[in-house]
Chains A and B, each alone.
Chain A
Amino acid sequence: MAGNATAQETLFALREQIARLEGKPLPALVAAERAKAAENPDRQGARAGRPRLPLGIEQVDAALEGGLPLDGLTEIRTSLMGNAGSASGFVLALSAYLKTRERSEAPVLWIGDVVSAQEAGVPYAAGLKQFGLNPDDILYAWPRKLEDALWLAETAAASGALCATILEIRDNPKHFGLTESRRLGLRAKAAGRPLFVLRHGAQEEASCAVFRFLAEPAPASERRLPDGSVLGGGIGHPVFRLILEKSRNPAPLSFFLEWNPRDRQFSLARKAAEISSFRNPSAHPGARLPAPADRQDRSPALGSVVAFERAS
């Protein structure tokens, strides 16, 4: 009997360890948290477990289970290098938003990739100032090798001295896989500071990131005059088209997010969505054929679409 109990205990300990590794709430911890919350109910909102960064938009925050994790990895990728503007814009907007929210004096670390800097330029201080980040708010690092970049990200995440760390990566390098991202994730978790991985022109890949966004460009909002009227033809606040590819939701969520640099607030851009869908009609217009009622539906296609069939 005693041996059995010891085995059980070992099993529970291992389960807890696995849950801790995976970042899932532990059953025992959750119970303890509830008990604590019952003791002083006013602290219920500030859940000691996982701090989050809500974006201030109900639908998005619901999909993000309260917001982006402040103690973990978030990945923002683009499918093409040409979309670097919107992805960097979203990451930098997030940093500015986080800095404003936390009223933090600590700078944001931008770990740049040298080739991406040649392809898409380097963050520009004067533009960033208009975007909501002062020149002193950003530290730039230009490591020569990916190993150095990973070391930097790890040190930065572990030091806890930085408001956020942005790691810019191009493509899907061999040396940055699941193991490395898990390592970074653990560091970020230990220090409680967020780490944003900005991946240009990359495929989806397994990583430790809690959420992964695919960023795409979207038409900017109209320029608004001080009295609230809209100036036609102007290019206003930036809008990003974001697809939440990885989350606990089964279906990817797609939305248009507008960043207001002056108020430092996100909002949903419905107008941009209309313009965008008008300018870029979908490849297969029209609804799919309804399922036949009198016989079996044909079996769904296996695997992903590699090439479309001939149209003519």
Chain B
Amino acid sequence: MRLTALDEVSERLGLKRGQGLAEARAMYPKIDVTDEDEAADRALLEAVADWCDRYTPLVALDGREGLFLDITGCAHLFGGEEALLKDVLGRLFHMGFDAKGAISSSSGLSWAACRFGRGGVIADDDMEDVLAPLPVNALRIEEGTVKALYKLGLKRVGDLMPMPRAPLARRFGTHLLLRLDQALGADEEAISPRRPVAALSAERQLAEPIQAEEHILQLTGQIAVSLKSGLESRGVGGRLFELVLFRVDGRVFRITAGASQPLRDPKRISSLFSERLTAVHDDLDAGFGFELLRLNVLQHDTFKTIQDDFTGDGQDGISLVDFIDRVSARLGAECLQVAELRQSHLPERARIFVPAMTSRNMRAEVETVFAFAPRTDRPLRLFRHPEPIDAFAAAVPDGPPERFRWRHIVHQVIRAEGPERISPEWWVDPEDAPERDYFRLESEIGCRFWVFREGHYGGKTPPNWHIHGIFA
């Protein structure tokens, strides 16, 4: 067992990471040790990263204990780089984190300055001066390379900088030089953000935190107004919106809401969220209130501008779309479905249900599908799975049953139509899938059923009878 992390007191005592637990106990018998919980550490770091979304949309995790924030173009919103860094560290300190931070033009230098230097904002001209006195560990290189460098007396980064590059690369590989170049900003290094950057985003900082749902909705409407011009200038409307709520204590809630057609109207956007908020009501704990609201457009589509005519018609279409959006936002997109016909002659494959939001009919471009149109009658209601029945007598080999038992009730057949043979689809089904002979039956009280016989009489196994649907 080894030490993986230390607090300030134990650091001052001289304990080190990677030290054996027995050794540490021998030195200081009174130290408190708890088991490492990697998942919890990770969750905490993720939560902090979520909270950091308020500064920039590009937040990346760095190992187990660090975060990269790409603040390109964001610093002026917080009053400059100094102020931004102070704000981040100050807020984190008040939440109980002892964090160090550095801002520079390269992620490598910031990493080194946080861990081995004094941090702070590093101007482009000072990059070499800051990096030079740091130990070679600050270059994020492997342990073996560090040891080899130490053996040669190359302890500081400054020792490496004036050295000829070719022998270094030959001796330690190109990785060392790559890291050095990255730290000095001579080579590009991309960070991998946790979340995709929203196409459009607008936010509102609040001086006084809000708690009530109606206030959230009202604000969402206001933020949507500021999104509208952005959407208009691109000629698009949003299909998927995300409302990010930053709680005072650092917790972040994300609520997404989809629309079946591109949306711009702030009122309708906020009404989408009004349904979503009702749906997630229990999960959304307002606590002491939210201090920052952000509205992201995650997906957008071309917005079709339709000129209104004077008849005042066309309102129906809009309210239908609105209805679909509201229901999908509240009960989930899967709740509202549309049936579509497919090219298959097996009854259960001839139609599929698709969510109304993504359905072809609701979209602008409608393509015609040549679906198989059966000549014979199809039932009004089809069972999800055919149910087995006991068919008592059948005119062998191809006749309908005279009587059958379904769900413990015997039905006397008065009239019958059929058979209609439906063969399995050899391009989907296995080779030995049996054929089905369908019959329409009418019982004596007038119920009409759709039953089929699977297999043939006189085969190895007797055929099975199933009921597949009922007629009106």
A155 B337 Cβ-Cβ under 8 A = no
Out of A126, A161, A217, A280, which one reaches B378, CB within 8 Å? A126
Per-position binary interface string of chain B over residues 434-472, scored 1 when its CB falls under 8 Å from any chain A CB and 0 otherwise: 000000101111111000000000000000000001111
In the assembled complex, B71 has its CB within 8 A of some CB on chain A: no
Out of A90, A127, A241, which one reaches B377, CB within 8 Å? A127
Assuming the contacts A120-B381, A155-B326, asked whether A280 and B444 have C-beta atoms less than 8 A apart, the reply is yes
A155 B381 Cβ-Cβ under 8 A = no
B447 A124 Cβ-Cβ under 8 A = no
A141 B380 Cβ-Cβ under 8 A = no
Q: Which residue of A lies closest to B342 (CB)?
A: A125
A143 B335 Cβ-Cβ under 8 A = yes
B381 A161 Cβ-Cβ under 8 A = no
In the assembled complex, A139 has its CB within 8 A of some CB on chain B: yes
In the assembled complex, A202 has its CB within 8 A of some CB on chain B: no
In the assembled complex, A233 has its CB within 8 A of some CB on chain B: yes
A140 B338 Cβ-Cβ under 8 A = yes
Q: Which of B19-27, B76-84, B299-307, B317-325 contacts A (4 or more CB under 8 A)?
A: B317-325
In the assembled complex, B170 has its CB within 8 A of some CB on chain A: no
Q: Which residue of B lies closest to A142 (CB)?
A: B335
Can you list 9 residue pairs at the A/B interface with Cβ under 8 Å?
A88-B381, A89-B471, A89-B472, A126-B341, A126-B350, A143-B331, A148-B331, A217-B445, A238-B472
In the assembled complex, A169 has its CB within 8 A of some CB on chain B: no
Per-position binary interface string of chain B over residues 260-295, scored 1 when its CB falls under 8 Å from any chain A CB and 0 otherwise: 000000000000000000000000000000000000
User: Which residues in B have their C-beta under 8 angstroms from that of A138?
Assistant: 338-339
A218 B380 Cβ-Cβ under 8 A = no
Assuming the contacts A127-B377, A161-B323, asked whether A142 and B470 have C-beta atoms less than 8 A apart, the reply is no
In the assembled complex, B374 has its CB within 8 A of some CB on chain A: yes
Out of A88, A159, A218, A234, which one reaches B446, CB within 8 Å? A218
A190 to chain B, nearest CB (A): 14
In the assembled complex, A235 has its CB within 8 A of some CB on chain B: yes
Assuming the contacts A89-B380, A125-B350, A233-B415, asked whether A136 and B338 have C-beta atoms less than 8 A apart, the reply is yes
In the assembled complex, A162 has its CB within 8 A of some CB on chain B: yes
Q: How many residues of B contact A (CB 8 A)?
A: 50
Assuming the contacts A105-B316, A106-B320, A235-B440, asked whether A118 and B384 have C-beta atoms less than 8 A apart, the reply is yes
Most buried by A among B319, B326, B327, B374: B327
Assuming the contacts A121-B384, A122-B384, A235-B440, asked whether A240 and B414 have C-beta atoms less than 8 A apart, the reply is no
Q: Which residue of B lies closest to A116 (CB)?
A: B381
Q: How many residues of A contact B (CB 8 A)?
A: 62
Q: Which 6 A-B pairs have the closest CB atoms?
A: A89-B472, A121-B381, A217-B446, A124-B382, A127-B378, A161-B320
Most buried by B among A120, A136, A276: A136
Complex Cα–Cα for A234 and B347 (A): 22
4 new A-B contacts at CB < 8 Å, known A122-B381, A238-B471, A276-B446:
A88-B380, A125-B340, A161-B320, A241-B446
User: Which residues in A have their C-beta under 8 angstroms from that of B323?
Assistant: 155-156, 159, 161-162
In the assembled complex, A69 has its CB within 8 A of some CB on chain B: no
User: Which residues in A have their C-beta under 8 angstroms from that of B403?
Assistant: none
Complex Cα–Cα for A141 and B331 (A): 10
Per-position binary interface string of chain A over residues 86-122, scored 1 when its CB falls under 8 Å from any chain B CB and 0 otherwise: 1011101100000000000111000000000110111
Complex Cα–Cα for A105 and B323 (A): 15
A38 to chain B, nearest CB (A): 29
User: Which residues in A have their C-beta under 8 angstroms from that of B384?
Assistant: 117-118, 121-122
